[in-house]
Structure 1
């Protein structure tokens, strides 16, 4: 597996301003040229986003009348920066990262909930460490600013600890997992598929996961607000394609797993172990999530909780505006 750091909480907008879009390796210079024009859609390593690969290989974008340049990013951070700067039209990213980009001034719209992480983000510890409270004074590797850093902070908070109570070792996610397997650190925060690597260490175990924090890590299709305003038919076609893809996967499970496992760089059997840890959202679950509410099931509630957390911990410098962020018109218009 190549290095695929996932879900950065800081958008690095200062670097974008200094160096411009051309500094982003692997990014497309194109943007939507109009309804029927080419849409550049970014995605990276996460089980909830691999269905886009199925959509491409099965011709489902074309079936829905949208011309998509599906852009794979080895580095998830690059995809976030590409969307924030306008180098791509849409991206697969978390609510956490979208809020961070919005706090830096990016005008974005969440038009679809792909999934919730329900166990595929984990804090994994060596033999002898059985609970998060046991991490006091221990070396914990995690990529600072990612949602696994966020998960670690949530877990520490629940255990009545803070980041100051551990020795945080900042490493890219793939390197963090490798360092843990090599015995260089006591614990690691990682996401699938790197959790598979981390658990190769004899006696290791997950002591916390995203399953314990429902709604904390939702993943989305995020577009520029400009795309929504100027080319709504293209956005609708992307959302329609997603639900068509889920139907195809349901009816062709083995073939779909083969496609997604290959894109993830893991075996079919390894990919199957990720199933329970990523809850793919149905159309109804999307509608429920977009509805305002007072539980983690609802995006507005989760967003405000995440903003409180990332601003209080310094992961974001200012509260972003939520105006225009949650746009459910396309899910509502999807054929049932």
Structure 2
């Protein structure tokens, strides 16, 4: 390729990056952009939006939905969004790889479970050998929890006929006989139970009060907008307290396109601990989860607190 053309092309790319950086810097700089996943439940975010908590706290926000964790983490790494609700497994994986993010608040603990078909004759962990068991994927919290649970019982994922499956498809596949069981998170556990499946292993057996979803922010956003970070954490706290203290009202705010059955919504809220802040108990649970990942060869070593947690709380 002609060297002059390469030089011109490189110049265009540099100019384009500079323009994009400038636009991103000056455009809507006072708007906090928050990302979340289409498949996830983030009740605090939903409640904050629907009860106008962001405006009440003087925070202008834009909420953006993403299809998967990879899109979401790329968005926050590139500066397209400032903060996000994300599962702890992917947060740890991203932090280990050097993605400039910090956990600014806990959000959800627990809420996982392994359910099986009533026709499967699975009654104990040993009965899982050779069975068709699905999980959200190897990047999921549930993969870590199940791997650790099996290890404690002298087994491994290799003892199962394991596969990855969308949580929304697990119950359908069990009904069709394609799966003997699956490990997932709420409300999909409650949905499958409501449709006749049996809960074999609950969250407390897998890991009591295990970390699930957290609220993260980019290092750049934390550095440039410390007051907005404080406000965002406060809003998350207010929304969480609202849900925990007004569950009947909160149930009505959960999007109806995801769960229509009010009883399943109640089951969801009853089986997930909605939390906030960065207290020592939460950090200890994160440490415990990281130790499990190190033991399983998922993490090379535990991530230090100064690289993982926001220092403002």
TM-score in terms of structure 1 length: 0.75
Question: Cα RMSD between the aligned structures?
Answer: 2.7
Following TM superposition, by how much is the alpha carbon of 1:215 offset from its aligned partner in structure 2, in angstroms? 4.3
The answer to whether structure 1 residue 52 and structure 2 residue 45 are counterparts is yes
Structure 1 residue 304: deviation in Å? 3.3
Distance across 2 between alignment mates of 1:129 and 1:32: 56
Residues 151, 209 of structure 1: 8 Å contact kept: no
Contact 1:139 1:168 in 2 (8 A): yes
Q: Deviations over 1:172-213 (max 9, x none)?
A: 2222332122111211111122223433554x3111122220
1:171 is displaced (CA, Å) by 2.1
Q: Is the 8 A contact 2:112 2:142 kept in 1?
A: yes
- Report what 2:171 is aligned to: 177
Secondary structure at the residue paired with 2:254?
helix
Q: Is the 8 A contact 2:108 2:212 kept in 1?
A: yes
Match of 1:21 in 2: none
SS at match of 2:86: strand
Aligned to 1:260: 254
Partner of 1:121: 112
Whether 1:271 and 2:265 are equivalent positions in the alignment is yes
Contact 2:186 2:272 in 1 (8 A): no
Equivalent residue for 1:224, pick from 218, 224, 230: 218
Structure 2 stretches lacking a partner, 5+ long:
1-22
Question: What does 1:37-48 correspond to in 2, within 5 Å?
Answer: 37-44=30-37, 45-47=39-41
Q: Which residue of 1 aligns with 2:14?
A: none
Give yes or no for contact 2:33–2:61 (8 Å, CA) kept in 1.
yes
Partner of 1:27: none
Residue 239 of structure 2: aligned partner: 245
- Per the TM alignment, residue 251 of structure 1 is displaced from its structure 2 partner at its CA by 5.4
Whole-Å Cα distance in 2 between the matches of residues 34 and 227 of structure 1? 14
Q: Within 5 A, what are the aligned runs for 1:1-336?
A: 37-44=30-37, 45-47=39-41, 49-117=42-110, 120-127=111-118, 128-145=121-138, 146-200=140-194, 202=196, 204-212=197-205, 213-250=207-244, 252-262=246-256, 264-281=258-275, 286-289=278-281, 296=285, 299=286, 301-309=287-295, 312=297, 315=298, 318-319=300-301, 321-322=303-304, 323-330=306-313
Considering only CA atoms, is the larger Rg found in Structure 1 or Structure 2? 2
Aligned residues of 1:110 and 1:223 also touching (Cα < 8 A): yes
Residue aligned with 1:273, SS = helix
Distance 1:328 1:268 in 2: 39
How far did residue 77 of structure 1 move? 4.6
Mean Cα deviation higher: 139-148 or 254-263? 254-263
Tell me, yes or no, if the aligned pair for 2:190 and 2:268 is still in contact at 8 Å: no
1:124 and 1:303 map into 2 onto residues whose CA distance is 22
Query: Is contact 1:51-1:246 (8 Å) kept?
Result: yes
- Pair 262,125 (structure 1): closer, same or farther in 2 beyond 3 Å: same
Alignment coverage as a number of residue pairs: 285
SS of the equivalent of 1:262 reads coil
Tell me the CA shift for residue 302 of structure 1.
2.5
Bigger Cα displacement from structure 2, 79-88 vs 232-241: 79-88
Unaligned runs of 5+ in 1: 1-29, 331-336
Deviation of 1:86 (Å): 3.1
TM superposition shift of 1:263:
6.5
1:218 CA drift (Å): 3.3
- State the distance in 2 between where 1:252 and 1:31 align: 39
2:148–2:292: 8 Å Cα contact kept in structure 1?
Answer: no
Once the 2 structures are TM-superposed, how far is the Cα of residue 226 of structure 1 from its aligned partner? 1.2
